[in-house]
């Protein structure tokens, strides 16, 4: 029996703000959207052409407060082919939340506070 990882889910408080962030910060665009007729939730999958793996953003209509992420010890990592340009872009966006130059990586935070690790291609 084999398993292939296909997506990760993040619940988001403001779907449009999150979609704009993921497109600007990481080049992820909407590939699929669905939800029930009553509009109680919307699920949007975002991805890019570099990987089959998708990020599922779930918005719940009745959610009235931002999510409590606790210690926020979970993250998703993204590898970039131009680490310096990515770092400059994320610094300009003001979304770098943790920088670790000794390890050669940094983290950005999305509008809901989820951490996303940015790592360079390594040989």
* pLDDT for the residue 117: 96
Domain carrying residue 80: 7-62+75-120
From CA 10, how far away is CA 59, in angstroms rounded? 9
What are the pLDDT digits (tens) for 92-107?
999 999 999 999 999 9
- Asked whether residue 53 is assigned to any structural domain, the reply reads yes
Residue 67 lies in a domain: no
Alpha helices (runs of H) in 15-82, residue ranges in sequence order: 15-26
CATH code of the domain containing 83:
3.10.180.10
Catalytic residues: 117
Residue 72 is predicted with a pLDDT of 77
Domain assignment of residue 69, yes or no: no
d(CA 41, CA 43): 7
């Amino acid at each position: 029996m084999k398993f292939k990882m296909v997506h990760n889910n993040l619940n988001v408080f403001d779907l449009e703000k999150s979609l704009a962030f993921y497109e600007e910060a990481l080049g992820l665009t909407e590939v699929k959207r669905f939800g029930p007729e009553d509009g109680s939730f919307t699920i949007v999958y975002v991805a890019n052409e570099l990987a089959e793996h998708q990020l599922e953003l779930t918005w719940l209509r009745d959610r009235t407060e931002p999510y409590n992420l606790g210690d926020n010890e979970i993250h998703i990592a993204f590898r970039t082919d131009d680490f310096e340009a990515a770092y400059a872009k994320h610094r300009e966006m003001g979304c770098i939340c943790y920088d670790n130059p000794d390890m050669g990586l940094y983290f950005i935070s999305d509008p809901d506070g989820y951490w996303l690790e940015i790592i360079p291609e390594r040989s």
